[in-house]
Amino acid sequence: MHEGTFRYEGYELAYTEYGEGPRTVVLVHGLLFNQRMHVPLARALARRGNRVVTVDLLGHGRSDRPTDMWEYSMSAFGRQIVALLDELGVDEAVVQGTSLGANAALEAASHAPGRVRGLVIEMPVLDHALIGCALAFTPLMVGLTVGAPVWRLATAPAKLLRGRVPALADLGVEWITQDPAPGGALIQGLFFGRIAPHRTERQTFEMPTLVIGHGRDGIHPFSDAEMLAAELPAGRLLQATSLFEMRIAPRRLTNEIADFLDDCWKPRPATARQRAPRRRAAAG
């Protein structure tokens, strides 16, 4: 395991590498979480022969956390993923994201489709999530901005639990006890920008994509995952049993993801355009 940082538009972003080799996978966390949420998956995929990189997007984890809302947008998150590939000297990578990370992965594919070998999109937030997101994130934004002093006071006792509870619970403790100012700015920034590439653009993404969704979740409705898998020319849908399957009983999904990565890194068949010069040379 190797921890590193790199610069993006004047800010420092943190990442961690697991494993080694030519097959690079980037794992991107959810809203106001950090790269720690993907540590078990990163280690499992590294054991399968992948170089796995987890990253803290701007405003998250060990990365810089500005309090200016204009520093945050989903498009900027996508560009940060591509900047990470530049830092690592990687031409292509499979990008996997969860929730906010899923949408950021789509933005990376929009910004640099030739750099994205494949996508794993877990719990995308798209067209059918509007009402659920408004109901969930408007009160959260108010709490993190106007109610920041109360938030700090109310969550102060929870800081005593950091590092003293199981890993999954510790992520939750870290989520609620982080400084609310950057989080409030981040959510405001997302409100003012596009949440994902438009569906007409998504329909042009040719890279293989595994879309993971589950039911009974208003913020990540299964209909969004189903719609995205159908839109993408090389999309495939995988249904999780619940929101918590990947976090509590991840073996099935981890194996599916690992098999998908194996498929992504198989040699690509030559396109008609690539084959044409060889045919003409033979004829001459």
Tell me, what's the pLDDT at 129? 84
Q: What is the spatial distance between Cα 1 and Cα 243, in angstroms, rounded to a whole number?
A: 28
Q: What is the residue-level pLDDT of the chain in tens, covering all 284 positions?
A: 999 999 999 999 999 999 999 999 999 999 999 999 999 999 999 999 999 999 999 999 999 999 999 999 999 999 999 999 999 999 999 999 999 999 999 999 999 999 999 999 999 999 888 788 777 778 877 877 876 777 677 777 877 777 777 777 877 777 778 888 889 999 999 988 899 999 999 999 999 999 999 888 878 999 999 999 999 999 999 999 988 899 999 999 999 999 999 999 998 776 544 444 443 333 33
Q: Is 137 helix (H, G, I), strand (E, B) or coil?
A: helix
CA dihedral 63, 69, 75, 79 (to 10 degrees): -30
Q: What is the pLDDT of residue 271?
A: 53
Q: CA dihedral defined by 56, 57, 63, 65, rounded to 10 degrees? A: -140
Amino acid identity, position 34: N
pTM score of the predicted model: 0.89
The per-residue pLDDT for 273 is 41
Q: How many residues are given for the chain?
A: 284
* Nearby residues of 151 by Cβ (< 8 Å), 6 or more positions away: 143, 144, 180
Tell me how many domains the chain contains: 1
Domain that holds residue 174: 2-283
In whole angstroms, what is the distance from residue 166 CA to residue 170 CA? 6
Contact assessment for residue 15 and residue 35, using Cβ atoms and an 8 Å cutoff? yes
Burial (CB < 10 A; 0-12, 13-18, 19+), residue 1, is exposed
What is the pLDDT at residue 199?
Answer: 93
Q: How far, in Å, CA of 253 to CA of 246, rounded?
A: 7
CA distance 279 to 176: 62
CATH code for the domain of 253: 3.40.50.1820
